[in-house]
Structures are given as structure tokens and as C-alpha cells.
């Protein structure tokens, strides 16, 4: 299954409420890959939850939102580095 074929199905989907307002569309990025917006009815957390299915390293991902000049909201996910068993 390619990213374009993936469908997010979440009965508990919430409407997107991005930190940046006034955007015309969204794109999601992680590790050099760009993922299309599945629809405004899915929040950034819904999209991240779906991507975790295929990319488990996003389990504790950080999210950064940037409004581009063309009105696109670019949402970038990045791995959050943690230490296992740190005390």
C-alpha cells in the first residue's frame, strides 16, 4: 500500500484546529517524505496516529507547524529522542 492509497478511518476523528490560522491546505512531512492531507475533518493528531501505524518511530513525535507564503500549512513530524531506562 502506498501513502496515496492509505485511508484514514477513525470514527472519533475531530475537526482540525491548527495552531496557524488562515491556511488554504495542509501537507504533512516526515523524514524527507511528503504526505497529502486526508481531509480537514482529521486533526494533526489523527494524521499522526495513522502514520504511527506505518512508522512506529513516530510514537513520541514532535510536531512543528509552519504557514508558507502560498497559504499552505506545512506540518512536520520529527522523532523525539529519548533514552530507554533513563533515571
What is the model's pLDDT at position 85?
A: 66
Q: With pLDDT > 90 as the criterion, what percentage of the chain qualifies?
A: 59
Domains in the chain: boundaries:
3-7+22-78
CB 75 within 8 A of CB 56: no
What is the model's pLDDT at position 50?
A: 94
What is the model's pLDDT at position 74?
A: 96
Angle, vertex CA 66, rays to CA 23 and CA 54, nearest 5: 95
| pLDDT tier for residue 51 given thresholds of 50, 70 and 90 | very high
59 against 6, higher pLDDT:
59
What is the model's pLDDT at position 22?
A: 78
Question: What digits encode the pLDDT tens for the residues 9-18?
Answer: 443 333 344 4
25-49 exposure pattern, b = at least 16 Cβ within 10 A, e = fewer: ebebebeeeebeebeeebbbebbbe
CB 54 within 8 A of CB 28: no
Amino acid at each position: 500500500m502506498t501513502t496515496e492509497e492509505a485511508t484514514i478511518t477513525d470514527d472519533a476523528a475531530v475537526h482540525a484546529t491548527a495552531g496557524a490560522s488562515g491556511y488554504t491546505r495542509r501537507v504533512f512531512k516526515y523524514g524527507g517524505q511528503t504526505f497529502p492531507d486526508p481531509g480537514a475533518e482529521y486533526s494533526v493528531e489523527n494524521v499522526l496516529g495513522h502514520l504511527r501505524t506505518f512508522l512506529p518511530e513516530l510514537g513520541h513525535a514532535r510536531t512543528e507547524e509552519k504557514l508558507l507564503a502560498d497559504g499552505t500549512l506545512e506540518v512536520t513530524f520529527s522523532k523525539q529522542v529519548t533514552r530507554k531506562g533513563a533515571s
